[in-house]
Amino acid sequence: MLKKSFTLAALALGAFALSAGSVLAQTGTIEGTVLDGATSETLPGVNVVIQDLDRGAATDVDGRFEISDVPVGSYTLLASFVGYQEETVAVEINSGEATQVQIELTPSQVQLEDVVVTALGVEREEESLGYSIQEVEGGDLEQAGEQNFISSLAGRVSGAEVKSSNVMGGSSRITIRGPGSLSGDNQPLIVVDGIPLDNSNFNSLGQNTGSGGYDYGNAASMLNPSDIESVSVLKGASAAALYGTRAADGVVQITTKSGSDRGGIGVSVQTGVSASQLYGFPDYQNKYGGGSSPNFFENSQGQLVADYGTDQSWGPRLDGRQVREWHSYDDVSGAAPGETSAWDAHPNNVENFYNTGTRWNTNIAFSQAGENYNYRLSFKNTMQEGNSVQSELDTRNFSFNGSLDLTDKLTATASANYVVEEARGRPGSGYTNANGPWLQFNHFGQRQIDLSEGAPMRDIERPDGTQRSWNWANSGLGSDAAPQNGSIIYANNPFWIRQKNYQNDDSDRFYGKAKVSYDFSENLTVSADARTD
């Protein structure tokens, strides 16, 4: 009976294995590439979906995609991308095979106005232009809610790659589809009301090469999105003929708002607030505390003493034992000298160091139009508190745009923009002193250090003005060594860094133009202008 049971079980197991193998084999894979039908260039970020299964993938930087474990059968693929017409392709999936697909997308015929403004404010028929142009309305940029208008173009301009900074007041970068550059600047030229702006950032060489420093922003970060009427993106080498070699990588042409579409007086007031928090912290270990040995020191009173003279966190196991810690050697925090405390991990100590950031925006605009004139004045104030301690940014934008008909044939126009930016405590980056706190948490920190509100680390200064911190030089050299007898060695108190050694910078920028034009006839206008940045 036992033998029969075993035989039946074996047969059942074999049947199950054959069945499972049969089921697993009834799938295939779809692999493919998506191209621009006009240029044959690959397209990254295209959504490719199996309509019948509601499954899909996005193309990578090389325009390739893969959808695995697709059941055998016939399906329809749908490819879609901003600025292109949707395309469907029929595919047949065979068991255990990879079906190869190539999809070509046709650029959309973006409906623009019959007349577009090109270089020098010249109006031309759109059909007569020898280059591709795509327009984004200013209202769409405002709805995006981005501080930097370049970031608002992400997903709105076909073939454009936007990289936004994640630091307070940082620069944003845009490149239009084409070859990349590791050392050069291949961004398109930014033109505001006919004024070419230098959009290179103000960073140090170290920041630009990745070794670290501060990101001070660029021209795009200083533009007020609420002042923008429309953005036209000019692509192709032919666009360079308008602005010279600086436009070889394309042009982002901005037209600002005026009072021309209003009769009488108009007032606009906008205000808003947003909050931000950091996320995506590294997965820190919380089993071992500070030190490089599994053993504690011991003082003359028989108390266990932690090793705060090293910058490692591979010491004794964090198991709750009573230990004499660094803050028990003084009474700055109110703790009685000589007290012991539990040797425990503080898993959220890095998160506790950072704050919830806030940003307040207030924008006021005043416009008026009459029979022979129009103008618009605007003011925007942005007050931002960053996620780092003592990080603040105050930006004030002033702008004017106006036009006056001096005679029936003579017209004068002018625009002016003035931006003032005051920053305190910009966060740094890289392996530099500018990025001290973050380096400490990831290279020099100890997992039992408490950084929460009211913790001893928040008391950064002794009565004599010297720094108060955990990483003291003579820790462990004597059984009763005390931190106030030594000096800070590897790691400063991160709150000391942010409150005593923070960075300040102020900047201002003025750009504008004045233009006079005379209409000799319906087909002939002569104009002269002066610009500055």
Q: Residue 121 and residue 344: Cα distance in Å, rounded?
A: 68
Checking if the pLDDT of 444 tops 80, the result is: no
Checking if the pLDDT of 6 tops 80, the result is: no
Q: Which CATH architecture has domain 27-105?
A: Sandwich (2.60)
pLDDT band at 484 (very low <50, low <70, confident <90, very high): low
Q: Residue 363 and residue 141: Cα distance in Å, rounded?
A: 15
The mean pLDDT value for 425-438 works out to 72
pTM given for the model: 0.68
pLDDT band at 458 (very low <50, low <70, confident <90, very high): very high
pLDDT band at 13 (very low <50, low <70, confident <90, very high): very low
Report the candidate in 505, 464, 507 with the shortest Cα–Cα distance to residue 487: 464
Q: In what order do the strands lie in the sheet with 195-197?
A: 132-137, 228-235, 251-256, 189-192, 195-197
List the single range of 201-205, 340-344, 388-392 with lowest mean pLDDT.
Answer: 201-205
Look up tokens 């012991």; give the residue.
340
- Tell me the per-residue pLDDT of 68-110, one tens digit each, with 9 for 90 and over: 889 999 999 999 887 788 899 999 999 889 999 999 998 875 4
- More confident call, 356 vs 147: 356
Q: Find residue 532's DSSP bridge partners.
A: 512
What pLDDT score does 262 carry? 56
What pLDDT score does 179 carry? 53
- More confident call, 521 vs 396: 396
User: What 8-state DSSP symbol labels residue 63?
Assistant: S
Checking if the pLDDT of 18 tops 60, the result is: no
What pLDDT score does 113 carry? 43
What pLDDT score does 402 carry? 92
- More confident call, 13 vs 444: 444
- Tell me the per-residue pLDDT of 247-262, one tens digit each, with 9 for 90 and over: 777 888 888 888 765 5
pLDDT band at 144 (very low <50, low <70, confident <90, very high): low
List the single range of 58-62, 127-131, 151-155, 364-368 with lowest mean pLDDT.
Answer: 127-131
Q: Is 111 left (phi over 0), alpha (psi -120 to 50) or beta?
A: beta
Q: Residue 439 and residue 460: Cα distance in Å, rounded?
A: 19
Report the candidate in 465, 495, 432, 28 with the shortest Cα–Cα distance to residue 213: 432
Q: Residue 50 and residue 69: Cα distance in Å, rounded?
A: 12
Checking if the pLDDT of 14 tops 80, the result is: no
Q: What is the mean pLDDT of the chain?
A: 79
pLDDT band at 10 (very low <50, low <70, confident <90, very high): very low
The mean pLDDT value for 467-488 works out to 65
Checking if the pLDDT of 207 tops 80, the result is: no
Cβ atoms of 117 and 123 within 8 Å: the answer is yes
List the single range of 165-174, 176-185, 264-273, 422-431 with lowest mean pLDDT.
Answer: 176-185
Report the candidate in 104, 203, 218 with the shortest Cα–Cα distance to residue 434: 203
The mean pLDDT value for 219-239 works out to 80
Q: Is 40 left (phi over 0), alpha (psi -120 to 50) or beta?
A: left
pLDDT band at 219 (very low <50, low <70, confident <90, very high): confident
- Tell me the per-residue pLDDT of 382-427, one tens digit each, with 9 for 90 and over: 999 999 888 999 999 999 999 999 999 999 999 999 999 999 988 8
What pLDDT score does 240 carry? 61
Q: Residue 231 and residue 218: Cα distance in Å, rounded?
A: 18
Checking if the pLDDT of 54 tops 70, the result is: yes
pLDDT band at 336 (very low <50, low <70, confident <90, very high): low
Checking if the pLDDT of 231 tops 70, the result is: yes
| pLDDT > 70 fraction of the chain, expressed in percent and rounded | 79
What pLDDT score does 361 carry? 92
3 state SS of 43: coil
What pLDDT score does 474 carry? 58
Checking if the pLDDT of 153 tops 90, the result is: no
What pLDDT score does 203 carry? 62
pLDDT band at 428 (very low <50, low <70, confident <90, very high): confident
Q: Residue 46 and residue 356: Cα distance in Å, rounded?
A: 35
Checking if the pLDDT of 221 tops 60, the result is: yes
Cβ atoms of 114 and 137 within 8 Å: the answer is no
List the single range of 120-124, 134-138, 245-249 with lowest mean pLDDT.
Answer: 120-124
Cβ atoms of 469 and 366 within 8 Å: the answer is no
Q: Residue 26 and residue 395: Cα distance in Å, rounded?
A: 61
Residues composing the chain: 533
The mean pLDDT value for 443-461 works out to 89
